[in-house]
């Protein structure tokens, strides 16, 4: 970036305000342009247009200490003459799991190369025109714990756009964004995907009267965090005036966490149960409960009789009927480094004191007069838009289907086509909901054209799953959609946020006349994977499992590997280890793995150990994830042979290990007050000393030993070997001879947990922890676990069980488990693989899983290549492979293994006892064949191209193709 480029924004009293959007424009003349590019970045995000064409958006996530900018070739869009660059830039002003925002800012640099060789450089400065992004409504809640503010665009506000000269904040290198560097990973695609099927249309209920408060931001304006232990206790009060006697019900937020305790005239209500109120005024007092968590919004809805009004108890004519009661004496702000299991009492028990005192207040304050006396000087009358946010998700979540309108919508199938035809919706006395099926899970931006009256509201929300009985699985704790308020006449909009789902709900509200809608589509936005045949065989169910696994991984690839495209879009470091390993051989994806590993490594400047999700405003360590990062660091080198990057990661590998060593007890075990998670199964892990953590630390030590040896660090290599052996010995002291397993944990007094799980057995086998005399018992625990043993609960953890099975020589058991675990997903019509199994602890009543698209679950395609094709890497940098296929009852299999040198293509076919194995390897890659027990009865023919093998490790016939000549020879030994 040129130092003359300035960070700019619209004029503000503060550049750290919540959900702040601007539009920036630069018009310029290009004379005889030959080349053109733009460098651009923003805090927190931007969308770029050149002469009206949407180019892309960004930037890639980064820590502010090492910030990214994007570079786009725009020569094809620049005209000889007048041109215009337009940028929509948005500052989130809140903590997320994706970035640590600093302040509003936009930085860009346009470079136009002329035919005469000269270069024009146009930098962001005060000559750019900017306008407040008034149509993007600010007072919305966060989408979720992990994400930015929800999207609400009001096209009726477009008349308020007024462009003025930009404000220069600072020069490019002087702001809080340091070491500006070009984006290190591929740009995401933008590809239109039409809907595949019209599902139904319904008239739905009008939404209840709802009030949502962003309680953390309201009490702590400008605070940038996403921690759970930020306590912002408050109450609110109103006077409900009944015009006649009737029934009223109060209900809290649909999300799982915070809720209100409500008293009417001093009488505490049962949550959600209706109450009959007499005519006249009634004093309503509520206090927020269970808000000590990462959620930042809480809601209250009123339903039942509509024969009432609300009045402010301190000023009846105030526009806001509610009074805000910030109980700041109980408030505190902490991080989550010490996990909640170990953090009691919080802040000297302020949270408990609040609960006790608020209960007393609910019981004793019965009248407005009592309220005025008790809260004089504390209660605040705030503007409505300051106290409350607009939460359109509540209207979607709370709707009831009242009437099927499927046969009364004019041309609903028109939305399946990209043409000039319209779908027309006539008014029917209430909101109309259209449901469409994308045909499969996808991720991208939603766009549409609309013709209607001004003020018509369009809500677009997506879900992953609709039960066969019609029950909708709403997106728990995620407002997975947006609201658009139409202007009079023609409207065209494309959402600012990438969202995922399969079923799209379009709800039209406030329509007094016909609404016409067309060109509704998803603009798919994913990492540009290299498409190839990952795996194919004679069993169509295995092929389908491969397809949905590959699709899942693709949807979880952005600028980093993410856990899921809907709920979080977060780089969880443990998920990264699994996904990177899958992505290497399926897609050859190294830049995304490298970027993910580096972002995690950079977290060690903030924490002693590698952070659990990065870059993030949630300050929290998850030891299992920290140790898996160390394993993933070595695996990146093993796949790529990139020693220079290993040298970059290595100091962080060392710090991660040494920090863990400092937390080892006198018993020689790692023990820390962090969050312990390896699986959703009910492991007894609410203790500081957990055995799966210790076994993963052994795995991280083994990886660190390999790193040290590769980099000739003999001192640390020896230190790590000694520590690994000492830790292994300490773990084995707790082998239970009676139960023939390891315990899950030790409590604070050093007592052994009565609970045991499969996890310790397969991790002990995988990382060579278990002593030789106990190997068979550990293996029995994963093959035939006793009834009382905790089983694996997620496809994430089962990846490590599968690795142990492969290592111990039980690939057939591995393949059987895949069919048992993933077959039900196929039977349920899944187009992506799930976060958990139906019997896992995350299953939601009638629904089989929470997330229906979770990258950590895509292991089948990885093991199909390793087991059925039999392809295993044997040298760093993919310079050598071994092929040893397992037939698994199949007659044919083929696939492509991506390597840094090119594609390794492998196939085999079985005709009675004759097995032909073929492969084509890229130059520089050596491939050897190894016979295994499943091939004993086969007569084997090998055919290979590009490179001959020097030897084969079995008695077989090798058929080679050299210079177009085919010949066979017998190899013995």
Q: What is the pLDDT of residues 392-410, one digit of tens each?
A: 999 999 999 999 999 989 9
Residue among 627, 622, 647, 624 nearest 637 (CA):
647
Question: Quick one: pLDDT at residue 970?
Answer: 32
Instruction: Label residue 371 exposed, middle or buried (CB < 10 Å: 0-12, 13-18, 19+).
Output: buried
**Relative orientation angle of helices 795-807 and 573-587, to the nearest 10 degrees:** 60
Q: Is the pLDDT of residue 136 over 80?
A: yes
What distances in angstroms separate CA 818 from CA 309, 541, 542, 546, 758, one per listed residue? 59, 11, 9, 11, 17
The residue with tokens 């693709």 is: 554
Question: Quick one: pLDDT at residue 966?
Answer: 33
The rounded distance, in Å, linking the Cα atoms of 436 and 520 is 10
- Mean pLDDT, to the nearest integer, of 212-232? 95
Q: Is the pLDDT of residue 953 over 70?
A: no
Question: Quick one: pLDDT at residue 967?
Answer: 31
Question: Quick one: pLDDT at residue 344?
Answer: 78
pTM above 0.85, yes or no: yes
> When comparing pLDDT for 968 and 738, which is higher?
738
**What is the band of 252 on the pLDDT scale with cuts at 50, 70, 90?**
confident
Instruction: Label residue 401 exposed, middle or buried (CB < 10 Å: 0-12, 13-18, 19+).
Output: middle
| Least confident stretch, 345-354, 722-731, 788-797, 961-970 | 961-970
Question: Quick one: pLDDT at residue 258?
Answer: 84
Q: Are strands 246-252 and 259-264 parallel, antiparallel or unpaired?
A: unpaired
- Mean pLDDT, to the nearest integer, of 414-443? 95
Q: Is the pLDDT of residue 973 over 70?
A: no
Residue among 56, 50, 112 nearest 83 (CA):
50
Question: Quick one: pLDDT at residue 962?
Answer: 30
- CA dihedral (51, 53, 58, 59) positive or negative: negative
pLDDT digits (tens, 9 = 90+) for 266-303: 999 987 688 999 999 999 999 999 999 999 999 999 98
The rounded distance, in Å, linking the Cα atoms of 859 and 918 is 24
pLDDT digits (tens, 9 = 90+) for 30-79: 999 999 999 999 999 999 999 999 999 999 999 999 999 999 999 999 99
- Encode 115-160 in three state secondary structure: CCCCEEEEECCCCCEEEECCCECCCCCECECCCCECEEEEHHHHHH
**What is the band of 971 on the pLDDT scale with cuts at 50, 70, 90?**
very low
The rounded distance, in Å, linking the Cα atoms of 969 and 961 is 12
H or E stretch covering 692: helix 691-710
- CA dihedral (869, 551, 616, 590) positive or negative: positive
What distances in angstroms separate CA 16 from CA 13, 108, 384, 821, one per listed residue? 9, 20, 21, 48
CB proximity list for 357: less than 8 A, separation 6 or greater: 330
| Least confident stretch, 301-310, 392-401, 612-621, 747-756 | 301-310
- CA dihedral (763, 764, 765, 769) positive or negative: positive
**For residue 893, what are the β-bridge partners?**
537, 908
Here the tokens at position 916 are 């032909």
Question: Quick one: pLDDT at residue 375?
Answer: 93
What count of Cα atoms within 13 Å lies in the side-chain half-sphere of residue 508? 29
High-pLDDT (> 90) share of the chain, % = 91
- Encode 797-834 in three state secondary structure: HHHHHHHHHHHCCCHHHHHHHHHHHHHHHHHCCCCCCC
**What is the band of 611 on the pLDDT scale with cuts at 50, 70, 90?**
very high
What count of Cα atoms within 13 Å lies in the side-chain half-sphere of residue 308? 27
Length of the chain: 973
Here the tokens at position 5 are 């480029």
Helices (DSSP H) in 146-258: which residue ranges? 215-219
CA 485 to chain centre: 28
What distances in angstroms separate CA 310 from CA 206, 283, 290, 315, 658, one per listed residue? 19, 10, 26, 12, 60
**What is the band of 954 on the pLDDT scale with cuts at 50, 70, 90?**
very low
CB proximity list for 862: less than 8 A, separation 6 or greater: 581, 582, 585, 586
The rounded distance, in Å, linking the Cα atoms of 603 and 335 is 15
The rounded distance, in Å, linking the Cα atoms of 797 and 794 is 6
pLDDT digits (tens, 9 = 90+) for 688-705: 999 999 999 999 999 999
Here the tokens at position 632 are 């993933």
Q: Is the pLDDT of residue 465 over 50?
A: yes
């Amino acid at each position: 970036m040129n130092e003359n480029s300035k960070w700019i924004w619209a004029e503000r009293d503060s550049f750290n305000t919540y959900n702040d959007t601007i539009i920036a424009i630069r018009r310029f003349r290009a004379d005889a342009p030959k080349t053109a590019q733009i460098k651009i970045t923003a805090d927190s995000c931007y969308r770029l247009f050149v002469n009206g064409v949407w180019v892309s958006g960004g930037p890639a996530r980064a820590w502010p200490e090492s910030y990214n900018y994007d570079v786009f070739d725009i020569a094809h869009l620049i005209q000889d003459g007048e041109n215009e660059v337009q940028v929509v830039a948005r500052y989130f002003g809140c903590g997320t799991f994706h970035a640590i925002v600093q302040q509003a800012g936009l930085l860009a640099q346009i470079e136009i190369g002329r035919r005469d060789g000269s270069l024009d450089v146009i930098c962001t400065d005060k000559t750019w025109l900017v306008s407040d992004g008034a149509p993007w409504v600010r007072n919305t809640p966060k989408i979720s714990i992990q994400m930015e503010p929800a999207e609400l665009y009001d096209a009726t506000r477009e008349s308020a756009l007024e462009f003025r000269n930009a404000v220069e904040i600072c020069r490019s290198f002087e702001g809080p964004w340091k070491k500006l560097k070009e984006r290190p990973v591929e740009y995401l695609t933008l590809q239109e995907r039409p809907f595949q099927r019209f599902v139904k249309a319904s008239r739905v209920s009008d939404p209840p009267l709802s009030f949502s408060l962003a309680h953390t931001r309201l009490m702590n304006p400008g605070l940038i965090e996403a921690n759970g232990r930020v306590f912002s206790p408050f109450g609110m009060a109103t006077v409900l005036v009944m015009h006649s006697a009737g029934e009223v019900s109060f209900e809290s937020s649909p999300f799982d966490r915070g809720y209100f305790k409500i008293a009417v005239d001093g009488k505490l209500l049962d949550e959600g149960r209706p109450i009959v109120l007499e005519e006249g005024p009634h004093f309503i007092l509520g206090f927020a409960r269970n808000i000590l968590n990462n959620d930042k919004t809480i809601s209250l809805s009123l339903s039942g009789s509509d024969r009432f009004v609300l009045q402010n108890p301190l000023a009846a004519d105030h526009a806001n009927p509610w009074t805000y009661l910030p109980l700041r004496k109980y408030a505190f702000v902490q991080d989550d480094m010490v996990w909640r299991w170990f953090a009691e009492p919080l802040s000297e028990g302020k949270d408990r004191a609040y609960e006790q005192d608020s209960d007393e207040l609910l019981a004793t304050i019965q009248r407005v007069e009592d309220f005025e006396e008790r809260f004089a000087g504390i209660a605040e009358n705030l503007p409505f838009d300051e106290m409350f946010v607009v939460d359109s998700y509540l209207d979607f979540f709370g709707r009831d289907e009242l009437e099927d309108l499927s046969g009364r919508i004019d041309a609903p199938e028109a939305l399946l086509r990209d043409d000039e035809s319209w779908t027309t919706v006539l008014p029917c006395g209430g909101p109309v909901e259209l449901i469409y099926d994308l045909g499969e899970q996808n991720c991208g931006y939603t766009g549409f054209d609309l013709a209607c009256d001004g003020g018509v509201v369009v809500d677009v929300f997506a879900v992953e799953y609709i039960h066969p009985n019609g029950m909708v699985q709403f997106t728990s704790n995620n407002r997975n959609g947006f609201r658009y308020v139409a202007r009079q006449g023609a409207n065209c909009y494309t959402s600012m946020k990438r969202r995922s789902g399969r079923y799209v709900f379009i709800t039209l509200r406030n329509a007094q006349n016909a609404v016409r809608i067309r060109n509704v589509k998803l603009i798919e936005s994913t990492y540009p994977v290299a498409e190839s045949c990952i795996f194919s065989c004679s069993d169509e169910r295995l092929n389908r499992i491969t397809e949905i696994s590959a699709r899942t991984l693709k949807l979880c690839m952005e600028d980093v590997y993410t856990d899921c495209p809907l709920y979080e879009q977060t780089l969880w470091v443990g998920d990264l280890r699994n996904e990177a390993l899958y992505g290497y051989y399926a897609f050859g994806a190294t830049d995304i793995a490298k970027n993910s590993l580096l972002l995690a490594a950079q977290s060690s400047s903030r924490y002693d150990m590698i952070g659990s999700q990065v870059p993030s405003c949630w300050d929290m360590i998850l030891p299992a994830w920290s140790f898996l990062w160390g394993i993933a660091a070595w695996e990146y080198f093993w796949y790529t042979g990139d020693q220079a990057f290993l040298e970059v990661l290595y100091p962080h590998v060392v710090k991660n290990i040494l920090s863990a060593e400092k937390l080892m007890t006198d018993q020689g075990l790692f023990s820390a007050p962090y969050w312990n998670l390896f699986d959703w199964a009910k492991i007894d892990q609410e203790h500081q000393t957990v055995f799966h953590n210790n076994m993963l630390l052994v795995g991280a030590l083994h990886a660190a030993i390999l790193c040290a040896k590769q980099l000739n660090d003999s001192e640390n290599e020896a230190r790590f070997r000694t520590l690994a052996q000492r830790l292994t010995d300490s773990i084995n002291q707790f082998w239970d001879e009676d139960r023939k397993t390891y315990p899950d944990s030790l409590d604070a007094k050093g007592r052994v947990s009565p609970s045991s799980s499969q996890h310790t057995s397969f991790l002990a086998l995988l990382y060579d922890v278990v002593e030789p005399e106990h190997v068979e018992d550990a293996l029995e625990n994963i093959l035939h676990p006793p009834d009382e043993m905790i089983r694996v609960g997620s496809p994430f953890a089962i990846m490590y069980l599968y690795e142990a099975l492969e290592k111990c020589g039980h690939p057939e058991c591995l393949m059987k488990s895949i069919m048992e675990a993933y077959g039900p997903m196929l039977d349920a019509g899944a187009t992506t693989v799930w976060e958990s199994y139906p019997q896992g602890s995350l299953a939601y009543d009638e629904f089989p899983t929470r997330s229906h698209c979770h990258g950590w679950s895509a292991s089948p395609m990885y093991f199909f290549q390793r087991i059925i094709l039999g392809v295993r890497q044997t040298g760093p940098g993919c310079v050598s492979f071994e092929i040893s296929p397992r037939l698994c009852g199949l007659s044919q299999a083929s696939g492509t293994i991506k390597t840094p040198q090119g594609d390794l293509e492998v196939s085999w076919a079985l005709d009675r006892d004759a097995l032909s194995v073929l492969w084509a390897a890229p130059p520089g890659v050596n491939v050897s064949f190894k016979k295994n027990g499943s091939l004993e009865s086969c007569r084997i023919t090998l055919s290979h191209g590009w490179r001959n093998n020097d030897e084969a490790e079995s008695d077989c016939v090798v058929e080679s193709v050299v210079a177009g000549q085919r010949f066979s020879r017998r190899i013995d030994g």
